[in-house]
């Protein structure tokens, strides 16, 4: 397939399953049964893939610490695609996660040429107000990249482990790419790893809800997390076929391996650059020891971040949603009446004639209006299933779906914009 996933460009993915083979993303269906109260996007398979999300399901099940983090580049209006990410952050916060939202003003400044003042204005008036209005609680953390000393310092540390060849392979950077753009990519990794700093309780599983176009950031960060850690644990087999675990000291300071050898479960044998551990297959217990030793010796012991990936919404006129084409999307600050008109002008999955519609049925899987209902406007799964069934059986015509979606979109935006104004008076609760 050779799909190019570009965090700053326009991506159109026709077959999401191909991402499993090409990029190593795992299907979400395998984990769905482990979630006791799944988000609507999980139930409806809008979230189609993941990386290491089993760490998050385990944390939710066992009530152990985990974080959720995502960010927004303040370069324009928040549309319904951005709302999807906000919904997922808020759900994970409600499930017990420590929530982080970064306003990527350094990225907007480097990639889009936005002034710092404009970044702050858009960040607050577009993104943060909507985030609060949708239900983000003040116990979470909202920050601007340019104001976070944690992010700045961690970006520098991560930059020691990153190189141009790696960034070029992941993002397609060339000799024409400016240095600030490259730094902004590493800053994304600092955003993602910040929840694991000691200021926020240390290493823990962290999930990043994103669209598939943001996967390059996830892959870079997972690689850097491994590089930053002092140790790695490998499974080994001796000459007699016996299995054992080996802790390799990639960059461990003097005395660290000896400390691992003294605390590790089972019998240990210390070598110059590694410790072999025999008589146990308890990887988790050994990992806990290794992480604790690393922290005591000044390391980070990062857990490589997890991610969930959701499907893109298509444009209202078909094809891709584009920020340069206002008719292709609905923004959270659009006038409710104008948004309703956009819905009524949207492309549907209906047939050419009324007779064909009744005979052959509609095609909701190709319908941007049905997508609005699926992603945002119908909470009840049974109601949605009925709409789908009536459409494919020819009992439901496009006009009725457009009227339903337009009415609910207008109602949602009216209420949301009222909540945004209330959120403006609460900004100090969030340290803004």
Structural domain spans, the chain: 18-228+303-310, 231-296, 326-430
pLDDT at 94: 97
**Across-strand partners of 264?**
none
Q: What is the mean pLDDT of each run of 10 residues along the chain (432 residues)?
A: 46 58 81 92 94 96 96 91 95 98 92 92 96 97 96 95 87 82 90 96 96 87 94 90 90 90 92 92 92 94 95 82 79 96 88 78 89 95 94 88 95 97 95 88
Q: DSSP for 268-330?
A: EEE-SSEEEEES---HHHHHHHHHHHHHHTT---PPPPEEEEEPPPBPTTSSB--TT-GGG--
Output the CA–CA distances (angstroms, integers) from residue 313 to 81, 160, 301, 375, in the order listed: 7, 37, 37, 8
Q: With beta carbons less than 8 A apart as the criterion, state whether 398 and 108 touch.
A: no
pTM of the prediction? Answer: 0.89
**CA gap 116, 123 in Å, rounded:** 10
Q: For residue 237, how far is the Cα from the chain centroid?
A: 37
**CA gap 132, 393 in Å, rounded:** 41
Output the CA–CA distances (angstroms, integers) from residue 223 to 107, 220, 294, in the order listed: 20, 5, 18
pLDDT at 16: 61
Q: What is the CATH number of domain 18-228+303-310?
A: 3.40.50.620
pLDDT at 20: 61
Let me know if the fold of 18-228+303-310 is the same as that of 326-430: no
pLDDT at 8: 42
**CA gap 291, 261 in Å, rounded:** 13
**CA gap 203, 285 in Å, rounded:** 15
CB proximity list for 381: less than 8 A, separation 6 or greater = 40, 43, 44
Q: With beta carbons less than 8 A apart as the criterion, state whether 409 and 339 touch.
A: yes
Domain 326-430 has CATH 3.30.390.50: no
């Amino acid at each position: 397939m050779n799909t190019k996933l570009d965090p700053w460009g326009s991506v159109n993915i026709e077959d999401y399953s191909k991402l499993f083979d090409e990029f190593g993303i795992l299907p979400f269906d395998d984990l769905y049964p482990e979630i006791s109260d799944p988000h609507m996007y999980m139930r409806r398979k809008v979230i189609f893939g993941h990386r290491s999300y089993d760490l998050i399901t385990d944390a939710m099940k066992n009530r152990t610490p985990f974080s959720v983090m995502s960010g927004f580049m303040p370069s324009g209006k928040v549309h319904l695609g951005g709302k999807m990410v906000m919904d997922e952050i808020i759900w994970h916060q409600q499930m017990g996660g420590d929530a982080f939202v970064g306003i990527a003003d350094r990225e907007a400044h480097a990639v889009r040429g936005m002034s710092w003042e404009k970044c702050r204005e858009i960040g607050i008036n577009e993104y943060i107000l909507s985030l609060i209005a949708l239900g983000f609680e003040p116990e979470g953390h909202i920050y601007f990249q340019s104001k976070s000393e944690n992010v700045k310092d961690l970006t520098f540390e991560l930059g020691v482990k990153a190189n141009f060849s790696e960034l070029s392979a992941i993002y397609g950077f060339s000799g024409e790419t400016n240095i600030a753009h490259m730094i902004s990519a590493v800053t994304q990794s600092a955003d993602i790893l910040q929840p694991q700093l000691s200021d926020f309780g240390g290493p823990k599983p962290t999930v990043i809800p994103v669209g598939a176009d943001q996967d390059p950031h996830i892959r870079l960060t997972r690689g850097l997390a491994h590089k930053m850690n002092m140790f790695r644990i490998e499974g080994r087999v001796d000459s007699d076929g016996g299995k054992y675990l080996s802790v390799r000291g990639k960059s461990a300071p003097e005395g660290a391996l000896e400390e691992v050898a003294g605390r590790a479960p089972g019998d240990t044998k210390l070598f110059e650059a590694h410790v072999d551990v025999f008589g146990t297959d308890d990887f988790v217990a050994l990992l806990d020891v290794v992480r604790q030793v690393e922290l005591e010796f000044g390391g980070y012991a990062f857990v490589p971040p997890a991610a969930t990936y959701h499907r893109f919404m298509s444009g209202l006129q078909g094809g891709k949603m584009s920020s340069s084409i206002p008719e292709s999307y609905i923004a959270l600050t659009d006038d409710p009446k104008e948004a309703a008109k956009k819905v009524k002008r949207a492309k549907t999955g209906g047939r050419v004639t009324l007779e064909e519609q009744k005979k052959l049925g509609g095609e909701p899987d190709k319908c941007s209006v049905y997508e609005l209902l699926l992603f945002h406007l119908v909470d009840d799964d049974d109601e949605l299933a009925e709409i789908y069934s009536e459409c494919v059986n020819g009992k439901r015509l496009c006009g009725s779906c457009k009227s339903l979606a337009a009415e609910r979109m207008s109602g949602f935006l009216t209420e949301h914009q009222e909540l945004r104004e209330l959120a403006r008076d609460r900004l100090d609760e969030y340290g803004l």
